[in-house]
Structure 1
Amino acid sequence: MPPSSTSFTLFTEAALARTAFAALVEREPQALSVVASVTDALVADPTRYAGPRWWAGTGADGKVVAAFMHTPPHHLHIAYATPAQARGLAAHLAEGHDSLPGVGGLREPTEAFAEEWATRTGVTGTVAMEIGRFDLPVRPRLSFAVPGRFRAATPDDAALLDEWNQQFYEAVDGHGARASSLDAHVASGRVGLWEDGGRPVSMAYASPANGGVTRLSGVWTPPELRGHGYASGVVAALSSARQDAGESCMLYTDLANPTSNAIYQAMGYRRVGDNVTITFGA
């Protein structure tokens, strides 16, 4: 059961959730990056997910000390919590006969949630992915020359960006995943392209900054164009651009992919935390 000093408040409106988490986002911008950017996107477009929910864990002093989010059909996301708080929410949701496909987020509270959920519901939890969280405390650097050049994407690139972003989402989330439009990111100069021979060959985008932190994502090079360092070029250049704009950079990587992890670390990114994704089954 949840500790007596922690209570959970459910929000079903993105604007209310954003207000509730504002102070925690400022204090823990890296951990709250996904919650902050997804919540902002839902404020702008409430139709992006059906039935989104947020839970704020509140301490005895009334301050929000834990943050959880569920945007079906995705797993419950634990952005920031202690293992005890995560167990508390699992108990609370199990009592309400909630159904969840899985849970993901910070390793220790996510594992604690999964254990409590399995005990109370009888499901089995299977680790689907282990994820590293990286920040960039230095200027990004490339140890090799990458042919081509970086440029910011423009509205004329919309069709290509939609195609590549969909391919990225399907590769990460599986077939049937729906990628959202990058139009707003393009308009604010947050999508980068690498060109070689006058044509785009790789892309990446940066989330709107929350708490001064932007998250790089959507790094995609079509399979037939890989092996030339294009992804390294676009990530390094976009990271530099966001630093020049006064933002701190972070990103997530699949720890099962040693190539991407090595590339980002050689660039100057450092591993500062671990996330895990656990899928529930019978």
Structure 2
Amino acid sequence: MAWHITGDVEEFLAGAGGFLRARPVQNTLMLTIAEAVRMQGPHVYGPGDPVFGWHDGEDAAVLCTPPRAPVLSAMSPDAAASLAELLDADLPGVSGPDVAVDAFVARWRRRTGRAAKVHGRQRLYRLGELAPPTPQPPGEAKVAGARDRDLLVEWTAAFFREVGEDDPEVAQFVDARLSYGGVLVWETGGAPVSMASLTRPESGMVRVQAVFTPPQHRGRGYAGAVTAAISRAARDAGATEVVLFTDLANPTSNALYQRLGFIPLEDRTMVEFAS
């Protein structure tokens, strides 16, 4: 049994799409990233050429959009170790479910001699029964539009800096979501004070992203309110699954999302390789 590696997203989806879509919650990153590449072109995430792969012996996949590190699906330690023998030796790191990442990193270090360190851990949640915050803070949720673009770009850039990603494609990220009404802002007195965005639906699943409240507006319940509002809007629009990731180092956000009805599913590790 072997890995199939390709730079063609259509070939990847033909080979791996079936099992990825069968578990859209666990494979949320794979599905949404591949769909973005399919719709917006191979360099939507940067100038490097993407790499995709799937294993013909088990339901396992990998996706890499340089300069980002590869993302692994759930897979056996043997599949992860064999993948570490195939990918480019200059990878910046790797991320994915803990078991897969641990096996990949162990083989990678033996192969390359490069040091590796954990630089973040995330938890995947899916929404159960939505429990909007009570009492709700003053204000209301509104679908963001072109008039909000500059502010959303500023806030999204700040969000990525806070989570350590510093994404250079912030404007493209915002424009893509504005194009399908995928950003809500919470407004008080007619002024935005918080935001949340959604991915496009994929196999009935959407992912809440970039929940951000500027520091001067924090501690007033706006993040919970806008997250509940965008989650309700997603379900009203037909989404069967609403998911999100949290930083495990942030107990505040983990507690908040659980109060809103999000249920923890699995943990993921992000590893950096020494240059």
Query: TM-score, normalising length from structure 2?
Result: 0.93
2:69 counterpart residue number: 75
CA distance in 1, matches of 2:166, 2:183: 24
Q: 2:12 aligned with 1:21, yes or no? A: no
Answer yes or no: is 1:133 the counterpart of 2:120: no
Q: Which residue of 2 aligns with 1:100?
A: 91
The separation in 2 between residues aligned to 1:83 and 1:36, in whole angstroms, is: 22
Q: Find the counterpart in structure 1 of residue 243 from structure 2.
A: 250
- What amino acid is the match of 1:7? A
Q: What one-letter code is carried by the residue in structure 1 that aligns with 2:97? A: L
1:157-190 deviation digits (Å, cap 9, x = unpaired) = 2222222122222222344643233233223222
Compare 20-29 and 227-236 and name the one that shifted more.
20-29
Instruction: Report SS of the residue matched to 1:184.
Output: helix
Alpha-carbon distance between aligned partners in 2 of 1:196 and 1:11, rounded to the nearest angstrom: 48
Q: Does the 8 Å contact 1:140/1:240 carry over to 2?
A: no
SS at match of 2:185: strand
Match of 1:216 among 204, 208, 213: 208
* Bigger shift: residues 228-237 or 10-19: 10-19
**Counterpart contact for 1:68–1:80, Cα < 8 Å:** no
**1:67-216 equivalent positions in 2, closer than 5 A:** 67-93=61-87, 98-175=89-166, 177-179=168-170, 180-216=172-208
Asked if the contact 2:130–2:262 (Cα under 8 Å) also holds between the matched residues in 1, the reply is no
SS at match of 2:37: helix
Find the aligned partners of 1:136 and 1:181 in 2 and give their Cα distance: 24
Distance in 2 separating the partners of 1:237 and 1:78: 31
CA deviations on 1:201-251 (whole Å, 9 max, x unpaired) are 111111112121111001111112211111111100000111112211000
Preserved CA contact (<8 Å) 2:123 2:267: yes
1:266 aligns with 2:259: yes
1:267 Cα deviation after fit: 0.7
Q: Is the 8 A contact 1:140 1:239 kept in 2?
A: no
> TM-score of the superposition, structure 1-length normalised?
0.90
Letter in 1 for 2:56: T
Deviation at 1:155, TM superposition (A): 2.1
Amino acid at match of 2:227: V
Quote the Cα distance in structure 1 between the aligned partners of 2:139 and 2:149.
21
Q: CA 1:221/1:184 → structure 2, altered by over 3 Å: closer, same or farther?
A: same
> Once the two structures are aligned, what percentage of the paired residues are identical?
31
The Cα RMSD (Å) is 1.6
CA distance in 2, matches of 1:79, 1:144: 39
Q: Partners in 2 of 1:241 and 1:228 — Cα distance?
A: 22
Q: Aligned residue for 1:281?
A: 274
Larger displacement relative to structure 2 (6-15 or 245-254): 6-15
Structure 2 Cα separation of the partners of residues 252 and 196 of structure 1: 27
**Is structure 2 residue 28 aligned with structure 1 residue 33?**
yes
1:175 and 1:182 map into 2 onto residues whose CA distance is 14
- Unmatched tracts of structure 1, length 5 or more: 1-5
**Range that drifts further, 70-79 or 40-49:** 40-49
User: Partner amino acid for 2:262?
Assistant: Y
* Paired residues, number: 270
Residue 3 of structure 1 is matched in structure 2 by none
Structure 1 residue runs of 4+, over 4 Å off?
none
